[in-house]
């Protein structure tokens, strides 16, 4: 009896297992073929992928051109693509060798080492003529093609940005495209920089590939040709025509590295239009540190004496600048002896020699009659706003050219207003210390605004988004900022102040006198607080001063005893002017 019960129990157990296995097999083969398991795996597609050998010619993602039409984010090179499992003794290897100027046995060896469809590694770049000769041979399994590859560490690292896989972002942002099958969860998206902000225009609508199907053992399926598959829409991929000048960007990168500026960067703007010509931030990011090293040029930094431009503008506008009045610059803002011992200086010379005492006293005079003037004038100078181009574009609301641009602050949101009411707090704020933080991008745009006489524009990084045939999809028009202008007299006096920083023999920018053109600008040194071994060092200016064309800001966030900012500014300005004349 017991034995019979065990037999029945075992039979039921085996029956349950068989039913489960049959159901599982049906689920795999018939029911969940397009959405298997919690990961929603398309089993049919995966089966096809296992039986498919492919070589990607272009990933289908849009790309960036500089203002002169040169590629920025990708390389396009003619290469020879080989499907090694189709290689046979019938191939005219000697003829291929003659075209490529390589011994036939070397070609044999290269192909023999390939495990999957690949481009041959050639010592010399293939010419377009050689590419055409290869294709005239009409060899099944060997093709010469222009191959597009993304640069591993992108040029203009922080402004262009990088791409990578982000399945959750695809599901969240491109659910409609995912449902239609135009993208997959493995489609690459922008991770930062313009790759992120312009991602809706750039995301791939399908790759361009050579495809060949094989059997279970990996042998070619007879009768099937290698197929060339491309996007169905000939107007894609789109491309972004940026405002960046590739040659100027290379100059900025080269000079920063030559002077060993490892934490900081530089921003270069075209003064006529406020278009971004070059932007470089240090340290560079890699694929592993993409979120560890943000863009220092669009992040908040302590400005130090660069902020005296705001205090000077307020004093001029409020008629507090008296040329004959002098301030005791042998003292600092604490009333203690200043180590530089500058003596008695008027406002303009105090600005040139960066006397803190003068601007502390001016700020307290202004604060009596106009409380809150510092924030008011910082806003007028554009330091508290988004300086990058933003607006509604196409079907995108609040589209921004810059990735995660931060807004400037005068006061810490964590402290109440009473904290800033003392005379010392007013003085510290007026010279760009205490809790003042602004972005180098905002400072660069402020310098361009002053150079133009007060007209302010949002900074553009792109001129347009275009279809593959060159037709414009979106044109980014200039955004002129009309609110809160300062008087033309104030702008004229500020220009004189900035020029005197360099022309004055005791001015903090006098080393720039050696350039063959005049520079107007302002230096800044900002203390980061107790326990910090480094200061922020700035030089912000424009050139040539008599007919301004370029605004440039250089920031060293790990300034030690070596002053790098002025030498970097000098070399960038000199190279830019030499190349643009």
- Any idea what the CATH number is for the domain that residue 544 is in? 3.40.710.10
Q: Is the pLDDT of residue 451 over 90?
A: yes
C-alpha 321/C-alpha 346 separation (Å) is 9
Q: Is the pLDDT of residue 102 over 70?
A: yes
C-alpha distances in Å from residue 172, one per residue of 169, 175, 176, 178, 183: 5, 6, 10, 10, 13
Where is the domain boundary, 194, 212, 242? Answer: 242
> CB of 133 within 8 A of CB of 99?
yes
C-alpha 256/C-alpha 567 separation (Å) is 10
Domain count, the chain: 2
User: Which structural domain, as residue segments, surrounds residue 94?
Assistant: 47-242
User: What pLDDT, in 10s, does the model give residues 141-160?
Assistant: 999 999 988 876 668 999 99
Tokens representing 561 are 């005893």
Q: Is the pLDDT of residue 182 over 60?
A: yes
Average pLDDT, the chain: 89
Alpha helix ranges (H) inside 373-478: 373-380, 423-430, 440-451
C-alpha distances in Å from residue 28, one per residue of 20, 40, 48: 12, 12, 15
Q: Is the pLDDT of residue 28 over 80?
A: no
Q: Look-up: residue for tokens 């807004």?
A: 407
Where is the domain boundary, 214, 242, 270? Answer: 242
Percentage of residues of the chain with pLDDT beyond 90: 68
- The stretch 338-345 carries a mean pLDDT of 94
How does residue 38 score in pLDDT terms, banded at 50, 70 and 90?
low
User: Around Cβ 121, how many Cβ atoms within 10 Å?
Assistant: 9
Terminal Cα-to-Cα distance of the chain (whole angstroms) = 106
Answer positive or negative: Cα dihedral of 170, 171, 172, 173: positive
Closest CA to 264 of 556, 540, 526: 556
User: What are residue 130's phi and psi, to 5 degrees?
Assistant: -65, -40
Q: Is the pLDDT of residue 214 over 70?
A: no
Evaluate whether residue 22 is within a structural domain. Answer: no
230/267 same-domain check: no
Q: Which of 305, 350, 354, 427 is catalytic?
A: 305
Where is the domain boundary, 242, 260, 293? Answer: 242
Tokens representing 269 are 């703007």
305 is catalytic: yes
188/307 same-domain check: no
380/418 same-domain check: yes
- The stretch 286-298 carries a mean pLDDT of 89
User: What pLDDT, in 10s, does the model give residues 379-414?
Assistant: 999 999 999 999 999 888 899 999 999 999 999 999
Output the pLDDT for position 528: 77
C-alpha distances in Å from residue 141, one per residue of 83, 103, 147, 288: 5, 20, 16, 37
Q: The CATH number of the domain where 122 resides is what?
A: 3.90.1310
Evaluate whether residue 167 is within a structural domain. Answer: yes
User: What pLDDT, in 10s, does the model give residues 515-564?
Assistant: 999 999 999 999 876 666 788 999 999 999 999 999 999 999 998 877 89
C-alpha 129/C-alpha 549 separation (Å) is 42
């Amino acid at each position: 009896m017991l034995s019979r019960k065990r037999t029945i129990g075992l039979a039921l157990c085996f029956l349950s297992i068989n039913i489960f296995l049959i159901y599982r097999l049906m689920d795999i083969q018939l029911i969940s073929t397009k959405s298997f398991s919690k990961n929603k795996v398309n089993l049919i597609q995966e089966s096809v992928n296992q039986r498919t050998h492919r070589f990607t010619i272009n990933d289908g993602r849009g790309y960036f051109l500089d203002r002169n039409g040169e590629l920025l984010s990708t390389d396009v090179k003619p290469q020879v693509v080989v499907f090694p499992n189709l290689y046979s003794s019938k191939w005219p290897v000697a003829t291929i060798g003659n075209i490529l100027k390589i011994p036939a046995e070397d070609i044999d060896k290269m192909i023999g080492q390939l495990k999957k469809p690949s481009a041959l590694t050639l010592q010399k770049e293939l010419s377009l003529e050689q590419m055409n000769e290869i294709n005239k041979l009409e060899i099944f399994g060997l093709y010469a093609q222009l191959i597009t590859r993304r640069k591993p560490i992108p040029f203009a690292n922080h402004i262009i940005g990088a791409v990578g896989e982000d399945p959750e972002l695809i599901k969240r942002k491109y659910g409609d495209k995912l449902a239609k099958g135009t993208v997959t969860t493995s489609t690459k998206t922008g991770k930062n920089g313009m790759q992120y902000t312009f991602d809706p225009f750039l995301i791939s609508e399908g790759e361009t590939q050579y495809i060949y199907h094989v059997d279970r053992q990996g042998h070619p399926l007879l009768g099937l040709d290698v197929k060339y598959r491309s996007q169905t829409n000939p107007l894609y991929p789109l491309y972004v025509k940026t405002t960046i000048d590739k040659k100027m960007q290379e100059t900025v990168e080269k000079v920063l590295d030559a002077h060993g500026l490892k934490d900081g960067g530089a921003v270069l703007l075209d003064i006529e239009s406020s278009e971004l010509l070059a932007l470089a931030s240090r340290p560079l990011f890699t694929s592993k540190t993409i979120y560890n090293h943000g863009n220092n040029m669009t992040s908040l930094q302590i400005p130090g004496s660069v902020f005296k431009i705001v205090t000077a503008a307020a004093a001029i506008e409020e008629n507090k600048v008296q040329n004959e009045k002098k301030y005791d610059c042998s003292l600092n803002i604490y009333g203690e002896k200043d180590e530089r011992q500058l003596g008695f200086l008027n406002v303009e010379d105090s600005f040139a020699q960066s006397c803190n005492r003068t601007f502390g006293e001016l700020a307290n005079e202004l604060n009596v009659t106009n409380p809150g003037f510092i924030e008011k004038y910082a806003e007028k100078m554009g330091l508290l706003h988004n300086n990058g181009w933003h607006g509604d574009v196409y079907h995108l609301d609040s589209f921004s050219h810059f990735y995660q641009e931060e807004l400037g602050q005068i006061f810490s949101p964590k402290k109440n207003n009473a904290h800033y009411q003392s005379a010392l707090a007013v003085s510290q704020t007026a010279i760009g210390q205490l809790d003042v933080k602004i972005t180098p991008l905002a400072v660069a745009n402020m310098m361009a605004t002053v150079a133009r006489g007060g007209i302010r524009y949002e900074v553009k990084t792109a001129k347009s988004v275009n279809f593959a045939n060159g037709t414009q999809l979106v044109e980014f028009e200039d955004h002129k900022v009309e609110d809160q202008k300062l008087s033309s007299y104030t702008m004229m006096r500020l220009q004189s102040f900035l020029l005197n920083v360099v022309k004055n023999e005791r001015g903090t920018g006098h080393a720039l006198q050696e350039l063959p053109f005049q520079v107007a600008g302002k230096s800044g040194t900002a203390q980061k607080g107790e326990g910090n071994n480094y200061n922020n060092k700035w030089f912000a200016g424009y050139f040539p001063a008599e007919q301004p064309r370029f605004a440039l800001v250089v920031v060293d966030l790990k300034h030690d005893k070596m002053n790098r900012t002025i030498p970097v500014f000098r070399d960038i300005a000199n190279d830019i002017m030499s190349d643009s004349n």
